[in-house]
Amino acid sequence: MFSSDNMHCGSFQVHRRPRRTCGSQRSRLDRRGEGSRPHHLVDGLSLVVAAALVLFILKIRLSKKRLPLPPGPPADPLLGHLRLIPSSGQDVFFHNLGKTYGDVVHLSILGRSIVVLNSVHAAVELLDKRSANYSDRPKFPIYETMGLQDSLVFVPYGNNLRMYRKMLQQYFSKENSKRHRPIQIREARLLADNILANPRRRGDLLIRFSTAVIVEIAYGHQIVSDDDPYVKIAEDVCEATANSGPPGGTPVDIFPFLRHFPSWFPGAYYAGYARKTWHLVRKLYDFPTECVTAEMARGEAKPSFLATHLEVLQRVIYIAGAETTSSTLAWFFLAMVLYPECQTKAQEEIDAVVGRDRLPDFHDREHLPYVECLLQETLRWNQAAPSGIPHRSMEDDIYNGMFIPKGSFVIANTRGMTLDENTYQNASEFEPTRYLRSPLGRGEPYPAGPFGFGRRACPGRHLANDSLWIAMATILSTVHISREVAENGKEIIPDGTPVAEGITSHPPPFSCRLKPRSEMAQALLKQANSMERN
Ligand code: HEM
C-alpha cells in the first residue's frame, strides 16, 4: 500500500532522474558548478505541471459555475422564490412547474438552491447513480428543536448512517421481512374485525394496525388495547410532526436563529410549537428502550430489533413506518369509495382464488394479480410522502449541462413522477388495470418513487409492502366499503384533495359505510381473532 516511505521513494526517483543523463553531459554540468540544476529543472517542471493542474481544476470549477442552473420561474432578487412556494400542496406546485420548465427545476430561497426532480429518470440518474453525492440530508431546524435529529431519517450521510442502515436493511430485508408475516396476518384480521365493529373509528384503527406491526417487530411488544402507551405515543408524535409545518419550509428553517425566539415573535410560531412537543419525542425514544431494558433484566424480552440492537434503536423511530402505512391505507379506503367498480373486481378475484370459506394469506399473493395492481395503484394515485424527504448534495455537480451547486436541497417529487402523462394515461384516475399487459391493460410501469431513491431509500419498504397487501386483501375479502348516503337519499361523493401535513399527506376526513361481506366472512374474522386470544 502507499506508506509514507513509498511516497518518499517516489519523489526520490524524480530527483534522481537527471543522473540518468549521459556521462559527458553530466561532467559538463558538474564542471560549470551547475550539478544541481537538473533538480531545479525538474522542480520547475513539477511546478508548471502542478500550476497547470490547479488551473485546469479551477477552469472546470469556473466553467461549472458558468453553466446554467436548471431552469425555473423568475425569482425575487433577495428572497428568491420564497413568496412563490406554497406552504402546502408543494408536490402539485412542483409538478406544475415541471410542465413549464422540464423534469429538473431550480428554485432558491435566500440563496439556498432547491432542485426539484419531477421524473423517475432524473431521480435515478442523480439519487441512485450518483448516490455518493446525493445521500446527505439538509438540516431541519424545526425537527431539531423537536428533538428528532437523532432519528435515522435525519442523520447526515457518513459512517454512522451506513452502520444504522446496514442493521435495518438486514433486519427488514425482503427475505427477513417474511418472518414478520404471522404478526401482519394477525393484525390485519384484527383490523378488519375492529373496523366492522367500529366503522367510525376507521382512522384510529388504521394507525393502531400500522403501529402494532412496527412495535411488535421493533420492540417485541404486542398491542392488545387502544389505551396502549405505544399507540398513544405514536398518535401524539404523528400529530406533532403533522403540525410542524412544511419540511424545510417554515420561517425557522429559513432563519434558524428564530428557534431561540418566543413563539409570539413574528415567524417563530413553529419554533414555539416544536419546543412544546419536544417531550413527546423524548418519550418516543425513551419509553421503548426503558421497557425492553427492564424486560431484558427480567429475562422476559421477546426477540425484536430493539433487543438485538438496543444501543442504536433511539435512532429508528416507528413513526417513520406507522404514519406512512396508515395514510396509504386511508387512501385505499377513499379509492374504494370513489371507484366502487375496482373494489368489485378485486373481490371477484379473491372469491375465485381464495374462496369465501377462508381468509387470504401471503400464499395467495402471486395468484391475485388484480389485487397486486390495486396496491400499486394506491401507491401511485396518492402517496403518503408525495415529495419524499429532501436529500442534500455534497459537491458541485453537472447534470445534462446544468450546474447543481453543492449544498442544494434535492427533492424527488414523487407526485410529479406519478402524474406524468407521458408515463401514465389518465394519471389522476384510479385505474389498477393500467399495469396489466395488453389487451387487459396498457403495461404501464409500477410507480418507482413512493419509497424514495438511492442510499436513503426507505429501508422498511418490504415490510410496508407486506403490511399494505395483507391489510388490503383481508379487508377486500371480508368488508364491503360503500358511499355514505345523505338524508335526501343521494350518495355522498367525498372530496379527494390531499391534506399535506409536514412530510406526509393523507385524504381529508370522509365517511363511508362498512359492512361485512357475508356472515361467513364475519364468522371467519371472529374465529381467527378468538383463536389468537386463546
Ligand atoms: C407505506 C409505507 C411507507 C412509505 C410510503 C415510506 C416512504 C419513505 C420515504 C419516501 C422515505 C424517504 C426516502 C428518501 O429519502 O429517498 C422513507 C425513509 C425511511 N423510512 Fe419509510 N416508508 C414506509 C414505511 C416504512 C416502514 C414500515 C419503516 C420501518 C420499518 C420505515 C422506515 C424508514 C426509515 C428509517 C427511513 C429513513 C431512511 C434514511 O434516511 O436513510 N418506513 N420512507
Supply the ipTM of this predicted assembly.
0.99
Return the residue whose CA atom lies nearest to atom 41 of ligand 1: 456
* Ligand 1 and 248: CB distance under 6 A: no
Rounded CA gap, 492 and 488, in Å? 10
pLDDT of residue 160: 86
> Phi first, then psi: what are they for 137, rounded to 5°?
-115, 145
Does 458 appear as a known binding residue? yes
322 alpha carbon to ligand 1 midpoint, in Å? Answer: 10
Cis peptide bond prior to 266, omega within 30° of 0: no
Rounded CA gap, 337 and 480, in Å? 10
Three-state DSSP at 238 gives: helix
Amino acid code (one letter) for 152:
L
For residue 117, what are the β-bridge partners? 104, 412
Return the residue whose CA atom lies nearest to atom 25 of ligand 1: 321
Rounded CA gap, 275 and 263, in Å? 9
pLDDT of residue 302: 66
CB 420 within 8 A of CB 380: no
- Alpha-carbon distances of 317 from 168, 215, 312, 321, 332, rounded to whole Å: 12, 10, 11, 8, 24
* Ligand 1 and 459: CB distance under 6 A: yes
* Ligand 1 and 376: CB distance under 6 A: no
pLDDT of residue 301: 64
In which element (H, E) is residue 515 found?
Answer: strand 512-516
Residue among 176, 331, 451, 504 whose CB has most ligand 1 atoms within 8 A, to mutate:
451
Residues 6+ apart with CB under 8 A from 380: 418, 424, 446, 447, 450
Q: Which atom of ligand 1 is nearest to the CA of 388?
A: 10
Nearest of 214, 357, 232 to residue 287 by alpha carbon: 232
pLDDT of residue 3: 32
Amino acid code (one letter) for 47:
L
Rounded CA gap, 454 and 133, in Å? 10
* Ligand 1 and 373: CB distance under 6 A: no
> What's the whole-model pTM score?
0.80
Rounded CA gap, 106 and 299, in Å? 56
* Ligand 1 and 326: CB distance under 6 A: no
pLDDT of residue 55: 52
Q: Which atom of ligand 1 is nearest to the CA of 453?
A: 16
Query: Within a 13 Å sphere around the CA of 458, how many CA atoms are in the beta-carbon half?
Result: 24
28 alpha carbon to ligand 1 midpoint, in Å? Answer: 74
- Alpha-carbon distances of 38 from 22, 28, 50, 52, 520, rounded to whole Å: 13, 12, 18, 21, 97
Question: Residue with C-alpha cell 404478526?
Answer: 183
* Ligand 1 and 450: CB distance under 6 A: yes
pLDDT of residue 58: 52
486 alpha carbon to ligand 1 midpoint, in Å? Answer: 39
- Alpha-carbon distances of 516 from 196, 362, 382, 468, rounded to whole Å: 7, 22, 27, 20
Nearest of 251, 180, 175 to residue 222 by alpha carbon: 180
Rounded CA gap, 268 and 255, in Å? 9
* Ligand 1 and 472: CB distance under 6 A: no
* Ligand 1 and 285: CB distance under 6 A: no
Nearest of 278, 300, 287, 151 to residue 215 by alpha carbon: 287
For residue 481, what are the β-bridge partners? 514
Cα end-to-end distance, the chain, whole Å: 64
Residues of the chain with pLDDT under 70: 1-65, 242, 244-249, 251, 254-269, 278-279, 282, 285, 292, 296-297, 299-319, 501-502, 532-534
pLDDT of residue 239: 72
